[in-house]
Every structure is written in C-alpha cells, then in structure tokens.
Amino acid sequence: MMKKALPWVATVVLLIGAWFVQLITPSDDVAAEPFLVAASIGSEAVGREIVVTVLEVRAASTVTSSSGWSAEGTWLLVDLNAETVTADRLLQGATLTIDGLEFRASERMDSIFSTKLVPGIPRTGTIAFELPDASLTGTGILHLSLGDDTRLDSVIELTIPLDELTTSAEESVHVTEWATS
C-alpha cells in the first residue's frame, strides 16, 4: 500500500515545496535596490560616496529663508552636515515618506538640497519638506542620497518620530555654508 502511495505523496510534498520557494523568491527589482545606511541624530552615517550627519529636525507652520522668502503651511526642516568621499557631487536625493506618501525636498527656497558637496570638507545647511496639514503624526522615514535615482547606491535612512516634534510658529532655513566643527 505504501509503495503505491509513495510517488503521490512525494509529488504533493514537492509541489508544496515548489509553491513555497516561489512564494519567498524576491522579484527582479530587488537586485537593484539601494543599500540603506541607518542614521541617528548627531552621528555620522557613511554611504558609498556620501557622508551625512543629521544635526536636528524641526517643524514649523511658517518657514523663512535668508533671501526674505517665506511660506506658510506644515513644514519639516532637517539640518545636516554633508560631504562626499571622492569627488564633487550634488545632493539631489532627499525624500520623506509618511504613511505611504512620499515627499520631495522643497525647491521653493535656497537650501542645501541640490547644492555641491566636496570630498573631505563638510557643508552645512537645511532641507525643507512641505507637507499636507495635520500630517506630522506617526513615523517619517527620511532618505538622503546623492542622486535622484537611488538604484544600487547608498541611501542614508533616518527614522523620525513625528509625534515627538513640537511645531514652532516660525523657523528659518539655514544658509548653506561650510560646516564649523
């Protein structure tokens, strides 16, 4: 009896195994995913070509810049020092993801976003994110990278507990300049 049933049992077992293997096989896209480097406030995070130290995270309902520009809304500001490792590059990857929505660093004012970073000498500045009202709850994931396309490159990741931030009435975007140690 067992001998007769054995091929059937083996087939079923192998089919289940194959289904399971297919289930856990990652998709092709995974091969090109960026390499995440976890960062925390105050400590240096080193990627392949980018080195970032996030100094502070602020929230405000009005944001001003040194050129006299200002805007109201819900704003999240990230102060950071950044440098590259081997060559001059622009800081062009800065996204904040909250609850499935992805936001891009604001281009509405001068900030360290899209400015040149040099090897070995840190620049300091602020990146600003314009958010919908009442969105500063839960957890925000900040991703910083040199390029907009982050495939196969390092991405500095910072988890921001948004509930712990207090929203000021007004905050300013710091001028982008050389960092003072």
User: Footprint of another protein on this chain (CB under 8 A)?
Assistant: 69, 71, 73, 85-88, 100-104, 106-108, 118-122, 129-132, 135, 149, 151, 178-181
Residue 103 Cα distances to 100, 106, 127, 140, 142, angstroms = 10, 9, 12, 10, 9
Q: Which is nearer to another protein, 42 or 68 (CB)?
A: 68
User: Of the candidates 111, 115, 116, which has an alpha carbon nearest to the alpha carbon of residue 67?
Assistant: 111
Check: CB of residue 51 under 8 Å from CB of residue 82.
yes
- CB closer to another protein out of 17 and 132: 132
Rounded to the nearest whole angstrom, what is the least distance from the CB of residue 84 to another protein in the complex? 9
Shortest distance, CB of residue 88 to another protein, whole angstroms? 6
Shortest Cβ 169–another protein spacing (Å): 19
